[in-house]
Chain A
Amino acid sequence: DAKTTQPTSMDCAEGRAANLPCNHSTISGNEYVYWYRQIHSQGPQYIIHGLKNNETNEMASLIITEDRKSSTLILPHATLRDTAVYYCIVRVVYNNNDMRFGAGTRLTVKP
């Protein structure tokens, strides 16, 4: 599975969009981009995933660059409850092996 690089931490004002970047320059054609988050003292929560097209669900949007070497998770209207560590993971399609979580980005939403 390809390695990912994320900023260590970010701040965002409540009500604003939070844009979390992730670099995955060695991604292969059969690897998905997954995003999870972990709120303090809870298990990781699945957010969204995509292969090459942009994706949107009730939680977030995922923008993947055309060359697929980077992506951005967008929380359109961040709330205080979105404060968490956000993990970007790339993983082979249909691979049921373990998820390799890196250090992630600690997002702090401020009032």
Chain B
Amino acid sequence: GAGVSQSPSNKVTEKGKDVELRCDPISGHTALYWYRQSLGQGLEFLIYFQGNSAPDKSGLPSDRFSAERTGGSVSTLTIQRTQQEDSAVYLCASSYQGGSGTQYFGPGTRLLVL
């Protein structure tokens, strides 16, 4: 079946602009995660959605970052008033609740803030 998809694959924006990144998880997966990865660095957890529970936002670096998940499926990560340090690859992953918790990752969105 289809894997996790993300769009756009690349995004170039100007400092101060808002951006929206989209994630389509694997069908039937109830858990969805956002991470970001700066150049040459490891993955940094941002936010986690599990079913209808309140999301775990503990990894969001500032209040400029927010995410929502509509209908328990598609998720959008929004970055307001982008800064140059927001430049990174933003990765989405999903997993099936009740399983071993294996996460399957999308290809990522490469964000460049000029």
Where the two chains meet, the residues of A that have a C-beta atom closer than 8 Å to any C-beta of B are: 32, 34, 42-46, 49, 91, 93-104
Contact = CB atoms under 8 A, between A and B. Distances in A.
Contacts of A101: 42-43
B98 A102 contact: no
Nearest to A98: B45
A32 B102 CA distance: 10
Given A97-B56, A98-B35, A46 B104 contact: yes
Contacts of B42: 101-104
A34 B108 CA distance: 21
A103 B108 CA distance: 19
Given A42-B107, A98-B59, A102-B42, A49 B91 contact: no
Nearest to A96: B31
Pairs A-B, 7 closest by C-beta atoms: A43-B105, A98-B45, A101-B43, A96-B31, A44-B105, A43-B108, A101-B42
16 contacts: A44-B43, A46-B105, A49-B100, A93-B100, A93-B101, A94-B100, A94-B101, A96-B50, A96-B95, A97-B56, A98-B48, A98-B56, A98-B59, A99-B33, A102-B42, A103-B42
Interface in B1-41: 4, 31, 33, 35
B84 interface: no
Nearest to B3: A43
Q: Could you tell me the dominant secondary structure of chain A's interface residues?
A: loop
Nearest to B104: A46
Contacts of A100: 45
A68 to B, nearest CB: 16
A40 B22 CA distance: 22
Output the residue of B42, B50, B59, B95 with the most chain A CB within 10 A. B42
Given A42-B107, A43-B107, A49-B100, A98 B33 contact: yes
Interface in B92-114: 93, 95, 97-108
A104 B103 CA distance: 17
Contact of A43 (B45, B91, B100, B101): B91
Nearest to B102: A46
